[in-house]
Structure 1
Amino acid sequence: MKKLSIRICAIIFMMLAFGSFAQAGDDPVYTGTFSNVAVGGYDTVVYFTEGQPIKGNKKFSTDYKGAQWRFVNAENKALFLAHPEQYAPQYGGYCAWAVSQGYTASGDPTVWKIVDGKLYLNYNDDVKAKWEQDIPAFIKSADKNFPNLVDAPE
C-alpha cells in the first residue's frame, strides 16, 4: 500500500511539475494550476496605457471567460469591461509562440509585446526571441491553432 501511495504522489508531482505545457481542451484563459486569476493578476489595460506590466488589485476585479481579471483602479476595470477583447491578451494569455506550434504553455505576464494593438505573452525571454523572428507568420499560425487547443469560452 505504501508503494502505491508513493507512486500516486510521484504521478501528481509530475503532473504539477510539467503542467505548464497543456493539452487540447484547456480553459480558454490561462490561470495556472491553483489559481483562477488571469495574467498572473496583472492589469491588462496598463500594458496599453503605461507600457509596462503592473499588478492589479483584488478589489478592482471582474470575471471574464471563466477567470478573474484584476486592475489597478476602477477606470481600468471599466475600460476592460467596455472592450475586453481589446485588452485581454491573445490566446487567453497562453504563450503566443507555443500556440503557433500547436500546443499551449503558460504565458509570463512580464514577457510581452503589443503588436497591431493586441497584447501577446510568451513563456520566457528565449521563447519571445524565437517568436520575434517572424511575428506575422507565428500569429497567423497561432490564430489558426488556438480554437482547436481550448474549450469554448464559458
Structure 2
Amino acid sequence: MSKALTFAAIALAAVATVSPALAVDENNTSAGLTAAGAPLGLHGVDPVAFIDLGNRLEGTAAHTVVHDGVAYYFSSAANAETFEANADKYLPQNGGFCTFGVSVGKKFDGDPRFAAVMDGKLYVFLSQEIFEAFNKDRAGTIAKAEANWAKIQHTAATEL
C-alpha cells in the first residue's frame, strides 16, 4: 500500500508541475509530443527558412530545437543553429496562434500554409478565408493582435 501511495504522490506532483505550463496555451502546438519530449510548434515548418528565405519548408525531427517547451523542426542543421542563436527573431508571433483570431481576442490554430512575413516577423492564420480578411487591413489587424496578445497570452484558449 505504501508503494502505491508513494507512486500516487509522485504522479500527482508531476502533473501539478507540468499542467500549469501547458494549461494556459501560451504557444500553439500540435497534439502529442515529439521524440524530443515536447509538443511540436508551427506544424513542423522551418521558421528560419520562412523568414530568411521566404520559403515554407518542412523541417525534420533530425533537426529539432526545443525552445520554451516547444519543439521546432528545421530543414537543415544550419537553420537549427541560426534559430538557437536568436530564437526570438524566428518565433511566430502571438505564440503561433492565428493573428486574426488574436486580434479579436481568441486563440485559433495558426496554420503556416496561410502566413505572412512582415517586417521580419512571421504571422500565421487559421485558413485561406481568414488570411484574405487579414490582407484587407494588415497593419490594423497586427496592431489589434499585439494589444490583445498582452491580455490573453496567459489565458487558456478554452477560456476565451
Instruction: Bin the TM-score by the shorter chain.
Output: 0.7 to 0.9
1:150 paired residue among 126, 129, 153: 153
Structure holding more helix per residue: 2
Percent of pairs with identical residues: 27
Bigger Cα Rg: 2
Q: Which runs of 5+ in 2 are unaligned?
A: 1-22, 34-38, 156-160
> How many matched pairs?
128
1:111 paired residue among 106, 110, 114: 114
2:134 paired residue among 131, 134, 140: 131
Amino acid at match of 1:76: N
Instruction: Output the aligned Cα RMSD.
Output: 1.6
Q: Residues 3-152 of structure 1: matches in 2 within 5 Å?
A: 26-35=24-33, 36-151=39-154
Q: Which runs of 5+ in 1 are unaligned?
A: 1-24
| Deviation >4 Å, runs of 4+ | none
Once residues 140 and 30 of structure 2 are traced to their aligned partners in structure 1, the CA distance between those partners, rounded to angstroms, is 27
Once residues 141 and 126 of structure 2 are traced to their aligned partners in structure 1, the CA distance between those partners, rounded to angstroms, is 14
CA contact (8 A) 1:38 1:68 kept: yes
Once residues 150 and 54 of structure 1 are traced to their aligned partners in structure 2, the CA distance between those partners, rounded to angstroms, is 27
Q: Flag the structure with more relative contact order, 1 or 2, with Cα contacts below 8 A and sequence separation at least 6.
A: 1
Amino acid at match of 2:54: G
